Amino acid sequence: MKKQITLTVNGVKRELLVAPNELLLNVLREHLGLTGAKYGCGIGECGSCTILLDGEPVLSCLTLAAAADGSDVVTIEGLMGSDGKLHPLQGSFLEHGAVQCGFCTPGMILTGKALLDENPQPTEEEIREYIRGNLCRCTGYTQIVQAIKERSKEKLSP
């Protein structure tokens, strides 16, 4: 039997009817048309489905939508400002060539944002450790780490 849940998704309150076994990734992509979170492995190995759930990076392919009832969800679509400008971390990824095929990018950026929210001045080692659950088959990670590091430096300036 379906269950009614409420999620605040990218600042907008949503009432949704979901099956008990329905995954949050599916609800975001299929019910709400938010396709930024990607279906990669579906078994918690790649990080491409990462979203922020109450500010924490979470694998939406392993999260039941019903279990997220009442939560605040941020997807990559929610990072853009109301003025249509990219989030500074998105800009940093572009500047540093940290986006190639782009499949890992939404999850990687949301994980990077969670890190900077928690630790505004991470070391390179801390960045590598934090993003270890987000796999990238294209970049070799160097540009991604640089993009997050540079953004942390910018946060120091007014």
> Which residues of this protein are in contact with ligand FES, per CB under 6 A?
39-42, 44-49, 59, 61, 99-105, 136-139
Residue closer to ligand FES by CB (options 41, 64) is: 41
Residue closer to ligand FES by CB (options 48, 92) is: 48
Number of alpha helices (DSSP H) and beta strands (DSSP E) in the chain: 5, 5
CB 65, CB 58: distance < 8 Å: no
Residue closer to ligand FES by CB (options 26, 100) is: 100
Q: What minimum distance in Å lies between the beta carbon of 107 and ligand FES?
A: 8
CB 23, CB 65: distance < 8 Å: yes
Residue closer to ligand FES by CB (options 1, 43) is: 43
Q: What minimum distance in Å lies between the beta carbon of 129 and ligand FES?
A: 18
Distance CA 114, CA 51 (A): 10
Q: What minimum distance in Å lies between the beta carbon of 88 and ligand FES?
A: 19
Q: What minimum distance in Å lies between the beta carbon of 81 and ligand FES?
A: 24
Tracing tokens 């953004």 back to the chain, one arrives at: 151
Could you tell me where the beta strands, DSSP code E, fall in the chain? 3-9, 12-18, 50-53, 56-59, 72-74
